[in-house]
Amino acid sequence: MPLLEILFIALGLSLDAFAVSVASGATMKRLHFPNALKMGVFFGGFQAFMPVLGWAAGLGMKDFLAGWDHWLAFGLLSAIGGKMIYESFKITEEGECGGARACPFDTGTLTVLALATSIDALAVGLTFSLLRVSVIAPALIIGLVTFLMSLAGVKIGSAGGHFFENKMEAAGGMMLIGIGLKILLGHLGLF
């Protein structure tokens, strides 16, 4: 798989973590770099691990899925992208960190957020196994891009609030659908 395509996948996957990071950063009155770093490590780590897990699961099903793997890859990426686009239209309100609400920088809350935003990466890892793509380099790139995007998201959120949050998640969804379509058309000989 070409590096540029892996970077687009990484960017698409990182945008939901970016959106959560922006919203989380908006809960801070001023930027606390240790919180931003913690969020980046959690999101980047989960986003790097989940494709490996999906890839390993896909290896066990490779023979079963070999005839229609390109359709499954297209379906998974389109479903993930569609979900991201749908969620980008939801209006959410984030309160100030503290009080009765869970703080997004608490380890327990952060673990749940990181797991929730990395489910898409699990499906992408499954897609990598179907396409017979090595997973180590893409997983590291996905993790690094997500780490950097999460750091940037917390900074942007603490500085400007929610303006970009939903737009970025929709853009990530469109990227994943486009990549899925490219895979499908490539296997059908149309691209």
Structure confidence by residue, pLDDT tens digits, 61-112: 766 766 676 787 677 767 766 776 787 776 554 444 544 344 667 788 788 7
Dump the DSSP string for 79-123.
Answer: HHHHHHHHHHT-------SSTTSPPTTSHHHHHHHHHHHHHHHHH
| CB distance 37 to 151 below 8 Å | yes
Which is more confident, 189 or 138? 138
Q: What is residue 77's predicted lDDT score, i.e. its pLDDT? A: 67
Using a pLDDT cut of 70, give the percent of the chain over it. 74
Instruction: Establish if 179 belongs to a structural domain.
Output: yes
The residue whose two tokens read 């196994």 is: 129
In a domain, 118, yes or no: yes
Is 39 within the bounds of a domain?
A: yes
Q: What's the rounded mean pLDDT across residues 111-138? A: 85
- Give the Cα-Cα-Cα angle 103, 109, 112 (nearest 5 degrees): 150
The alpha-carbon radius of gyration of the chain (Å, integer) is 17
Please give, one letter per residue, the 3-state secondary structure of 113-145. Answer: HHHHHHHHHHHHHHHHHHCCCCCHHHHHHHHHH
* 190 has pLDDT over 70: yes
Q: Answer whether residue 42 is part of any domain.
A: yes
Classify residue 53: in a domain, yes or no: yes
Task: Enter the pTM of the model.
Answer: 0.69
Confidence (pLDDT) at 99: 45
Range of the domain at 172: 3-26+33-89+103-187
Q: Is residue 98 part of a domain?
A: no
Residue 94 lies in a domain: no
15: its two tokens:
């945008």
Q: Is residue 71 part of a domain?
A: yes
Among 9, 4, 7, 19, smallest CA distance to 152 is for: 19
| Tokens 């913690």 sit on residue | 38
- Looking at the structure of the chain, the number of domains it has is 1
CA 118 to chain centroid, in Å, comes to: 5
